[in-house]
Amino acid sequence: MEEKVIKAIQDDYPDDFAYCYGCGRMNDDGHHFRTGWHGDRTITIYTPLPEHTALPGFVYGGIMASLIDCHGTGSAALALHRKNGNEVGDGSEPPRFVTGSLKVDFVKPTPHGTPLQALGTVAEIHPKKWRVNTEVYANGELCARGEVIAVVMPDTFLKK
């Protein structure tokens, strides 16, 4: 499996949408999750930091949830961008999504110290609402399943 996402939707977000702690390229202290296409699925790869432990040796669940969250909104943005006739890197501005709901099932303890691969399947369920089902793997083993309902960003999120 590829080890780096080459063309990520987050690289094309407008600057004022690039301060997300999870996936904003302009948030100096954030995780910098990057999400791209992987065949018909979407992928985000992330190696947790040493401090991101639950118990020693295992990844903190909140990091898994964060990965699934931003992977979800990024995947929805990739899918709607493509539906609109655009692709990452073509100079067009991608649509913006926020998270309506997030669900994570922890399948097994996630080993720390290895890259995590989030693989997503995206489905439109409403013109402004997409469902992203994600599997998170470590060393090829399924560790968590996630579901995000991503919603086209409403006006309530406009800068105050």
CB of 156 to its own copies, least distance (A): 6
Q: Which is nearer to its own copies, 7 or 106 (CB)?
A: 106
Cβ nearer to its own copies, comparing 98 with 152: 98
Q: Least distance to its own copies from the beta carbon of 7, Å?
A: 23
- Neighbouring C-beta atoms of residue 101, cutoff 10 Å: 11
How many C-beta atoms surround the C-beta of residue 39 within 10 A?
7
Is 57 within 8 Å of 112 (Cβ atoms)? yes
Distance of alpha carbon 27 from its chain centroid, rounded?
Answer: 15
Separation CA 147–CA 121 (nearest Å): 10
Give the residue with the Cβ less far from its own copies, 56 or 85. 56
Q: CA-CA distance, 50 to 135, in Å (whole number)?
A: 22
**Which element (helix H / strand E) includes 78?**
helix 61-83
The residues that touch its own copies, with contacts defined as CB under 8 A, are: 16-17, 19-22, 24, 27-30, 49, 51-58, 60-63, 65-66, 69-70, 98-106, 108-109, 156-157, 159-160
Smallest gap from Cβ 67 to its own copies, in A, equals: 8
Q: State the nearest-atom distance from the C-beta of 110 to its own copies, in Å.
A: 11
The smaller minimum CB distance to its own copies, of residues 87 and 109, is found at 109
